[in-house]
A and B are shown apart, each in its own frame.
Chain A
Amino acid sequence: MNKLTAIFGSRRTWAWPYVLFLVLFVVLPLLLIFVYTFTDPQGHFTLRNFLQFFQTSEAVNTFIYSLAIALLTTIICLLLGYPAAYIMATAELKTPAVMAMLFILPMWINFLLRTIATVELFNMFSIPLGEGALLYGMCYDFLPFMIYPIYNTLQKMDKSLIEAAHDLGANGREVFAKVILPLSMPGIYSGIIMVFMPTVSTFAIAELLTRNKITLFGSLIQRAFGEGGLQMWNYGAALSLIMLIIIGLTSFFGNNDDAADQKGGLL
């Protein structure tokens, strides 16, 4: 009994259940992606699934196209979102907190329903559902993820630094380029990660926005698991591994904890 108390009395042990949980439901599943990638349905080692991707020009093209769309979405969101965050953080709005809330509130409506409503909006103005609609819809869905972290960093910025730069003779443009922009880089990194990661992996949004006219990499993965049947799972795992590599590479670019924190603050 005393021994038990000693074990549970030490607070370090309280994390054990969660560690076990993480190993079973996070580490093991990710390892299984590797296992399935390099085996055939009979469980023998093979490189076929991986090679199948590189030999299918449709898959490779879709992959490159998805990367391009995700990059473009991220850039557009940055160009649209930075000024918005900057205005909210610096201009003397009567109610900056309410403004920030207004940008977050739309996220409380299910994103699929919002996407469908966007499609209807396009239909009403007889705008064809193609690449333009896809980009618009992606930017629409993820713009708040760019604005929020940048707004947060700008707001926490020490305003006296700007005054100091002005006093030392810098003009408006120099102050922005040499003081404000460098100081807002952490927010920009978080924003880029928070927009790029979901856009590069999305499948439902593209299907709805283009009525299945445009296939993104995420949809390829989903189809391999959904419609392909058993023998396609290994191929799907290989595609997932490629996605995992992209995500891993992206996450090197920014402070992940910070991005996660921001996402938490947003919701």
Chain B
Amino acid sequence: MKNQNLTPAQIEALHRQRNMTIKRVFAQSYLWLLLLLLYAPIVLIIVFSFTKSKVFGNWTGFTVQLYENLFTGYDRVAQVHVDPNLYHSLFYTLLIALIAATFATLLGTLAAIGIFNMRQKRRKTIQFLNSIPMINPDILTGISLFLLFVFLGISRGLTTVIIAHVVFCTPYVVLSVMPRLTKMNPNIYEAALDLGATPFQALRKVMMPELWPGMLSGFILSITLSIDDFGVTFFTKGSGGLDTLSTFIYADARKGGLTPELRPLFSLIFLTMLVLLIIINWRADKQSKQQKK
């Protein structure tokens, strides 16, 4: 009877500690349960990337056949080519993301500098306009742009999709660059002009070095948003056969069968992101530890 040697206060403390431990176990199990539900479909995609059955969810034995098909573009066993539209849509997804993100970053950075230097009232108005594409659901952005292109008689295709992506990416660039401007010394631009720099030189040599972290995060954010988009692309791509991965998957699923090579493709994308995040976290961890020292 060890308890007999303890004061009542100590016993209470022990009880509280035990209750806390139980609470913590419950709390953590809840998180892991949610994560399990969140990851179940993804695990399913990865597991079924290692079987060659055409029908998703049908296990026909372990093989890396689909990975081989994905990289060679040819199914050796069935002697058929992998749907070329898969590669086209992958290519266009990346192309659109890169071009749209580049334009959005340039347009958004200039806009952020301009807005930052505006008077309060006008600044509020433009910030309101800037927030519309962020708040608008993709279906409304898509349809309103669809009506615009029809109204102006512009045939839909690659250009219209890129414009549409710039529309919903730029506001995020503006938001990522703005905080850097607040931190910056407002006088160094004028100082550069006084010392004889042209506005362009002052922008490139004085402002850019201060702003680039914001520009970079805006650029990466734009790429992500662009790659992930479905609704806006769907309404602005036209019927000329242009597809991104999103619209390709949608059309594929509506037809009934999903191109099996999508499974290894997205397994690889997911694993790449996982490794990247681990590296970024690990480096941030190391840096913060070094700073503490």
Residues on A with C-beta less than 8 A from B139 are: 201-203, 218, 221-222, 240, 243
Please give me the 4 A-B residue pairs with the lowest Cβ-Cβ distance, nearest first. Answer: A15-B114, A29-B144, A18-B111, A117-B41
Contact of B221 with A267 in the complex, beta carbons under 8 Å: yes
B110 within 8 A of A: yes
Give A237-262 interface residues, CB cut-off 8 Å to B. Answer: 237, 240, 243-244, 247, 251, 256-257, 259-261
Asked whether B57 lies within 8 Å of A221 as measured between CB atoms, the reply is: no
Q: Taking the complex as formed, is A45 at the interface, i.e. its CB lies under 8 A from any CB of chain B?
A: no
| Distance between Cα atoms of A203 and B24 in the complex (Å) | 40
Please report which residues of chain B, range 90-116, place their CB below 8 angstroms from some CB of chain A when the two chains form the complex: 107-108, 110-111, 113-116
List residues of B (118-156) whose CB comes within 8 Å of A's CBs: 118, 126-127, 129-140, 143-148, 150-151
Which of A4-12, A155-163, A180-188 contacts the other chain? A4-12
From 126 to 144 in chain A, residues with beta carbon under 8 angstroms from any chain B beta carbon are 140, 143-144
A260 touches B113 (CB 8 A): no
Bound together, the chains give a CA A106 to CA B37 distance in angstroms of: 11
Given the complex, which residues of B lie within 8 Å of A27, measured CB to CB?
129
Q: Is B62 an interface residue (CB 8 A)?
A: no
B67 in the interface, Cβ–Cβ < 8 Å?
A: no
B219 cross-chain contacts in A, Cβ below 8 A:
none
Using A123-B57, A267-B224 as known contacts, list a sample of 13 further A-B pairs with CB atoms less than 8 Å apart, ordered by residue number in A. Answer: A16-B114, A18-B170, A22-B126, A84-B30, A103-B38, A106-B42, A114-B42, A117-B41, A203-B139, A233-B150, A237-B143, A260-B134, A260-B171
B64 within 8 A of A: no
Q: Are the C-beta atoms of B253 and A30 separated by less than 8 Å?
A: no
Docked Cα-Cα span, A24 to B43, in Å, equals 44
Residue from A15, A32, A202, A236 within 8 A of B115 (CB atoms): A15
Is residue A153 within 8 Å, beta carbon to beta carbon, of the partner chain?
no
Given known contacts A14-B110, A15-B110, is B249 in contact with A9 (CB within 8 Å)?
A: no
Provide the bound-state CA to CA distance between A207 and B250, in Å: 10
Q: List 29 A-B contacts (CB under 8 A).
A: A10-B117, A14-B110, A15-B114, A15-B115, A18-B107, A21-B166, A23-B129, A26-B132, A28-B148, A30-B132, A84-B30, A87-B27, A87-B30, A91-B24, A91-B27, A110-B246, A112-B249, A116-B56, A117-B42, A117-B45, A118-B41, A143-B34, A204-B231, A204-B234, A221-B143, A233-B150, A260-B175, A267-B225, A267-B228
A68 within 8 A of partner (CB) = no
A interface SS class: helix
Indicate the size class of the contact surface on chain A. 35 or more
Query: Are B27 and A116 neighbours in the complex by a CB distance under 8 Å?
Result: no
Do the beta carbons of A18 and B114 come within 8 Å of each other? yes
Which of B3-11, B70-78, B79-87, B270-278 lies at the binding interface?
B270-278
Residues of B within 8 A of A32 (CB): 144, 147-148, 151
B215 within 8 A of A: no
Q: Is A208 an interface residue (CB 8 A)?
A: yes
A105 with B277: in contact, given A5-B199, A198-B137, A208-B253 (CB under 8 Å)? Answer: yes
Whole-angstrom distance between the Cβ of A182 and the nearest chain B Cβ: 22
Q: Are B38 and A143 in contact (CB under 8 A)?
A: yes
| From A12, A117, A144, A247, contact of B114 by CB (8 A) | A12
Chain B residues in 8 Å Cβ range of A168 = none
Interface residues in chain A, defined as those with a beta carbon under 8 Å from any beta carbon in chain B: 5, 8-19, 21-23, 25-30, 32-33, 36, 80, 83-84, 87-88, 91-93, 97-99, 101-103, 105-114, 116-118, 120-121, 123-124, 140, 143-144, 197-198, 200-204, 207-208, 218, 221-222, 225, 233, 236-237, 240, 243-244, 247, 251, 256-257, 259-261, 263-264, 267
Within 8 A of A (CB), among B150-179: 150-151, 163-164, 166-167, 170-172, 174-176
Q: Can you name the residue of chain A whose Cβ is closest to the Cβ of B27? A: A87
Within 8 Å CB of B228, what residues of A?
107, 110-111, 267
Tell me the complex Cα distance, A225–B35, Å.
38
Instruction: List B residues 25-50 near A (Cβ within 8 Å).
Output: 27-28, 30-31, 34-35, 37-42, 44-45, 48
Question: What's the minimum C-beta distance from A201 to chain B, rounded to whole angstroms?
Answer: 4
> Given A30-B132, A225-B235, are A121 and B114 also a contact pair (CB < 8 Å)?
no
